[in-house]
């Protein structure tokens, strides 16, 4: 039997789902966003310790991702406001791309996948914003749910693909290196258009 949409009533009007009768359980979700850089921009960022004239790209994106996850119910109309127990953003630079993982957890009666997706998305958007003076050819790619648990429907796309299904918080983080001011100053800003 096909699933039905839960955010519309019998007359197809939008509604916030009543989760009052659902049990409170530990809910977790992990999402990932990918940011692709042109080769020259990736090289500039690496040489400058991931700092642009706007500031420390990865640090600002990390904070923005946490803020985004916490603000999900204010951004997505029918999401329930949740009290998050945990929100971790891990950004890994791999070649010419940044992989942004957002892991969220709470004790509640509804899932936290939208919070994880929002956190990853906002962190990716912040990376774009921090780097757009270097190029407008930066691309935010796939944004996807990797895992969710604690509710009626468990999801583990990592297990299905054979990828290691480990907590990204335990994964190696980008090493913050001392900033070379000369390297930052050498990054050309795009001329105002």
Which one of the listed residues 9, 40, 129, 156 is annotated catalytic?
129
- Residue pair 137/36 in contact (Cβ under 8 Å)? The answer is no
Is residue 129 annotated as part of the catalytic site, yes or no?
A: yes
User: Rounded to whole angstroms, what are the CA distances from 86 to 25, 45, 67, 71?
Assistant: 14, 29, 12, 14
What is the longest distance spanned by two Cα atoms in the chain?
63
Q: Are strands 86-94 and 97-108 parallel, antiparallel or unpaired?
A: antiparallel
Q: Are strands 51-52 and 25-36 parallel, antiparallel or unpaired?
A: unpaired
Active centre residues (catalytic): 129
């Amino acid at each position: 039997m096909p699933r039905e949409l839960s955010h519309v009533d019998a007359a197809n009007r939008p509604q916030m789902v009543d989760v009052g009768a659902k049990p409170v359980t530990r809910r977790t979700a992990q999402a990932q966003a990918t940011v692709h850089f042109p080769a020259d921009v990736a090289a500039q960022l690496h040489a400058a310790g991931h700092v642009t004239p706007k500031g420390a790209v990865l640090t600002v994106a990390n904070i923005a991702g946490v803020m985004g996850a916490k603000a999900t119910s204010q951004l997505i109309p029918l999401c329930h406001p949740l009290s998050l127990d945990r929100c971790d953003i891990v950004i890994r630079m791999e070649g010419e791309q940044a992989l942004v993982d957002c892991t969220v957890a709470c004790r509640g009666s509804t899932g936290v996948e939208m919070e994880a997706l929002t956190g990853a998305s906002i962190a990716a958007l912040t990376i774009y914003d921090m780097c757009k003076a270097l190029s407008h050819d930066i691309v935010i790619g796939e944004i996807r749910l990797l895992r969710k648990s604690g509710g009626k429907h468990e999801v583990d796309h990592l297990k299905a693909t054979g990828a290691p299904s480990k907590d990204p918080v335990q994964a190696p983080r980008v090493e913050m290196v001392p900033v070379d001011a000369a390297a930052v100053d050498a990054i050309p800003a795009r001329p105002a258009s």
